[in-house]
Amino acid sequence: MVDSRVKELEEILKKHDGEKHLIALRGAPDPDSLSSALAHQFILAKYNIHSQIAHACRLGHEENRAHVKLLGTELVRYSKDMSFESYLGYSVVDASRPDDDFVESMGEKPIVSIVDHHDAPEGLEAEFIDIRRGVGATATIYTEYLRDLNLFANDERGRKIATALMHGIMSDTDDLLNGNQVDYEAVSYLSKFADLNLLKQISKQSLTEQTMDTIVGAYEKKKIYGSYLLAGVGVLKPGDRDALPQAADFLMQREGVHTALVYGLIGSEIDCSLRTVSDQVNPHDFLLDAFPDVETHGRYGGRFDKGGFTMRLGPVLSYLNSIKSDLVIPAVNAYMESRFEGYVGKRKDALTSNGSG
């Protein structure tokens, strides 16, 4: 057997026998963090540690809600009234640091484990740390743990966990397109236990009415500049933010489009979602080049084929927004279009088709 880190984890968990722990998800829960949390909970139970999975950010996207619902995952969302007294330690999955709310609430109590596949800052402190950057999903690491602990079984719980982990891996690696050997092996192992019908049900969730409306709106308002597509969907409620990447995914299916940017106005911020299949376009460079204002007035996050950013409107515009969005939207659209056009105008790869929509 390969050097199994889980042996070390086991030794540590034995010292926490009978305790109650928190499993903290960072940011909005996604299939990888949710399934890793379930697997972690399963391991804790083996060592007589009772646990609760908690998250601080909203559970969005139909697929994630389906994951929770169909797998019966018990989640609590952080609130100020939540009592942390009974939790003697906490663990982080699919991230290297817990959200600040949890850090503040847990105070001096120990972080028992950190298991992740992202870049991590130096100087992390936890009793057990397993961070593997080359792995496609944290669920892949937990698959290895559960396999080495012999915890998979062909019973209902085993099936659910295997299904959840498979969904986590597939989702974080874009159906394995961005996965590597260890991810393939994990999926192949999980396939012995996973319920593929359940997996299909989770992945093919129907869209909510609002998401559908946003996608249709983006389709109607799209502007095409060669192989680049821009679509503004107007005002969105914060709860409908996830419709933006879904609209961008949808518009990417249009023939001849290699890069799509969809944006909406949420509160006093422009929220944008970018998708690209062009090897000439790097989301980070694209966004900062096309929208240099993001650096000072917004936030950015992404990877090689997708990215997102938000940009604050000035105080005057946000004031206008609260009274009349039809005064703000044309200004936002004019800004977005001129920046986008300015960028695309400099690109050779934009000139491959005509500019009609």
Query: Where along the sequence are the contacts to Mn ion (CB under 5 A)?
Result: 32, 94, 138, 172
Q: How many CA atoms lie within 13 A of 290 on its CB side?
A: 27
CB-nearest residue to Mn ion: 32
Inter-residue contact 350 to 225 (CB < 8 Å) = yes
- Strand segments, DSSP code E, in the chain are 20-25, 50-55, 75-77, 89-93, 111-116, 128-131, 223-225, 228-235, 259-266, 269-276, 298-302, 306-312
The residue among 96, 84, 80, 82 whose CA lies nearest residue 25 is: 96
- Closest to Mn ion by CB, 127 or 172: 172
Please state the closest distance from residue 94 (CB atom) to Mn ion, in A.
Answer: 4
C-alpha to C-alpha distance for 169 and 175, rounded to whole angstroms: 8
User: Smallest Cα–Cα separation from 139: which of 192, 100, 99, 179?
Assistant: 179
C-alpha to C-alpha distance for 337 and 339, rounded to whole angstroms: 6
Nearer Cβ to Mn ion, position 138 or 273? 138
What whole-number distance in Å separates Cα of residue 184 and Cα of residue 179? 7
- State the minimum distance, in angstroms, from the CB of residue 29 to Mn ion: 11
User: Could you tell me the smallest distance in angstroms from the CB atom of residue 172 to Mn ion?
Assistant: 4
Q: Is 68 or 332 the residue whose CB approaches Mn ion more closely?
A: 68
- Output 29 or 217, the one with its CB closest to Mn ion: 29
Residue placing its CB nearer to Mn ion in the complex, 92 or 350: 92
Cβ distance to Mn ion smaller for residue 93 or 344: 93
Measured over the CA atoms of residue 81, residue 83, residue 89 and residue 94, the dihedral's sign is: negative
| Rounded least distance, CB 106 to Mn ion, Å | 22
The identity of residue 216, as a single letter, is V
CA 163 remoteness from chain centre: 18
Residues in the chain: 357
As measured in angstroms, the least distance from the Cβ of 136 to Mn ion is 8
CB of 9 to Mn ion, least distance (A): 19
CA distance 287 to 125: 34
C-beta of 32: minimal distance to Mn ion in Å? 3
Q: Kindly state the helix (H) or strand (E) to which residue 200 belongs, with its residue range.
A: helix 196-203
Nearer to Mn ion, 217 or 308 (CB): 308
